[in-house]
C-alpha cells in the first residue's frame, strides 16, 4: 500500500508547497508512516478483556471528594481578587450577546 506515493499529487490535494529537492525525503517519510499504520492493522483485540469499573484503582473514594459549593464572584481560596465592575450582570451571572 505504501509503495508508489505520489507526493506531488498529495501536495496538490492538501494545498501544500514543497520544494522539489525535498520530495524524495518526504516521500520516504510518508511511506514509513503508512507502513506503521499497516502494522497497526495487524493487531487484534479479540482476546483482550475490556476493563470494568471494578478493575480500576482510584486514589480516593467518590465519597471523599470535596463538594463544590458556589461562592460569590471574586471570592477564591487564594484570597481577595481584584473586583471588576461589569455592566451586563443579571442575578449574579454575566450576560453574553444574544445569538
Query: Is residue 83, in this structure, part of any structural domain at all?
Result: no
Backbone angles phi, psi at 62, to 5 degrees: -60, -30
Total structural domains within the chain: 1
For the whole model, what pTM was predicted? 0.40
Query: Is residue 22, in this structure, part of any structural domain at all?
Result: yes
Query: Is residue 98, in this structure, part of any structural domain at all?
Result: no
Query: Is residue 68, in this structure, part of any structural domain at all?
Result: no
d(CA 52, CA 94): 41
Query: Is residue 62, in this structure, part of any structural domain at all?
Result: no
CA-wise closest residue to 75 among 85, 83, 67: 83
Task: Summarize pLDDT for 38-97 with one digit per residue, the tens.
Answer: 888 888 777 777 777 777 777 777 777 777 777 776 555 566 665 667 777 888 788 887
Query: Is residue 16, in this structure, part of any structural domain at all?
Result: yes
Query: Is residue 27, in this structure, part of any structural domain at all?
Result: yes
What pLDDT does residue 97 have? 78
Q: Which domain holds residue 21?
A: 7-41
Amino acid at each position: 500500500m505504501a509503495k508508489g506515493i505520489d507526493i506531488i499529487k498529495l501536495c496538490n490535494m492538501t494545498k501544500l508547497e514543497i520544494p522539489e529537492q525535498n520530495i524524495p525525503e518526504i516521500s520516504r517519510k510518508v511511506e514509513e508512516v503508512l507502513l506503521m499504520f499497516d502494522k497497526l492493522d495487524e493487531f487484534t483485540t479479540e482476546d483482550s478483556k475490556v476493563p470494568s469499573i471494578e478493575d480500576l484503582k482510584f486514589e480516593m473514594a467518590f465519597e471523599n471528594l470535596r463538594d463544590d459549593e458556589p461562592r460569590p464572584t471574586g471570592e477564591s481560596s487564594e484570597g481577595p481578587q481584584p473586583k471588576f465592575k461589569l455592566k451586563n450582570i443579571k442575578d449574579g451571572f454575566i450576560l453574553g450577546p444574544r445569538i
